[in-house]
Homo-oligomer: A and B are copies of this chain.
Amino acid sequence: MPAKRTVLFVSDGTGITVEMLGHSLLTQFEGLEVREITLPFIDSVEKAETECMPRIREALEAGNGVPVVFSTLVNSEARELIRGSGALIFDFFETFIDPLEAGLGIKSNHTIGRSHSSADKQEYKARIEAINFSMAHDDGASHRDLAEADVILVGVSRSGKTPTSLYLAMQFGVKAANYPLIPEDFERKSLPEVLKNYRKKLYGLSIAPERLREIRQERRPDSEYARLSNCRFEVEQAEIMMRQEGIHWINSTTKSIEEIATTILRDIKLQRHVY
């Protein structure tokens, strides 16, 4: 096994952005084994000194290659300190802020974090409302206020509706309900009655029967519910129904939650409420 190289994500905020960008770059290096350390809220040179520098020194001494630091630090003193550490530094703020100032012809604030303006408050409210809505309308739990939904996801049990609804709400402030298609619907050969009023809001998720079987098997081992032949039947019937009803649907099998949610957002051309 190759030695693991240390990668540090250092941010004066949550570190979530710098982690995501760092990850997307690191996935380009197949076989690279890394040990990841995230250090959020490094908003002063003191914190850089006490919280980052020891971790970098430790990694240098471990001898598994020069540690890599992905950072986004507005504080230039903190940046300079880390730059002198001997690690390989990629600071996103520093890299882009100067060319962005030049291109826009405006000086930046060089301030840490988002301001908490009234626009933020509106976004926060929209986001919380969407999360509450999606929670209350998970798995067909409530028919109330379905007219307020931005989208209603349909599909067989365990096709990915719940995490997708929550992600749409959390990330984009979209009010996403979800409603299962179940064997009774297939026998009746028609959509659940309540959904017929909201045809334009429906969006389908399908899944490979083999993958569905795996997921259901974990949940209810050796049940009829998890049997491959049953999974095949349900998926086939659901796809027939969605086709007949003119419901746009995608296959979620090899997609991440982010990919499914983003595809839906693009397809339904939703007005998102959170940026």
- Chain B nearest CB from A119 CB (Å) reads 11
Stretch at the interface among A17-25, A147-155, A187-195, A220-228: A17-25
Secondary structure class of chain A's binding surface, majority of residues: helix
Q: How many copies does the complex hold?
A: 2
Q: Is the pair B254, A116 in contact by a Cβ cutoff of 8 Å? A: yes
A residues 203-249 touching B (CB-CB < 8 Å): 218
Bound complex: CA A24 to CA B92 (Å): 10
Q: Is the pair B163, A104 in contact by a Cβ cutoff of 8 Å? A: no
Q: Is the pair B24, A108 in contact by a Cβ cutoff of 8 Å? A: no
Q: How many residues of A contact B (CB 8 A)?
A: 69
Chain B minimum-CB-distance residue to A116: B254
A128 with B163, Cβ < 8 A, contacts A66-B103, A96-B25, A103-B66 known = yes
Q: Is the pair B14, A109 in contact by a Cβ cutoff of 8 Å? A: no
Stretch at the interface among A53-61, A75-83, A255-263: A255-263
Q: Which residues of B contact A92 (CB under 8 A)?
A: 21, 25, 92
Asked if A170 CB lies within 8 Å of chain B CBs, one says: yes
Q: Is the pair A124, B256 in contact by a Cβ cutoff of 8 Å? A: yes
Chain B minimum-CB-distance residue to A160: B128
Asked if A186 CB lies within 8 Å of chain B CBs, one says: no
Please report A residues at the B interface, Cβ cutoff 8 Å. Answer: 5, 13-17, 19-21, 23-25, 27-30, 32, 36, 40-41, 65-66, 68, 72, 74, 88, 90, 92-93, 95-97, 99-100, 103-104, 106, 108-111, 114-116, 124-125, 127-128, 131-132, 135, 138, 162-163, 166-167, 170-171, 218, 254, 256-259, 261-263, 266, 275
A-B contacts, 21 of them at CB < 8 A, read A13-B24, A14-B256, A16-B171, A17-B24, A21-B21, A23-B275, A25-B97, A29-B109, A30-B109, A41-B262, A41-B263, A68-B104, A90-B100, A95-B95, A95-B96, A116-B254, A127-B163, A128-B163, A131-B163, A166-B166, A166-B170
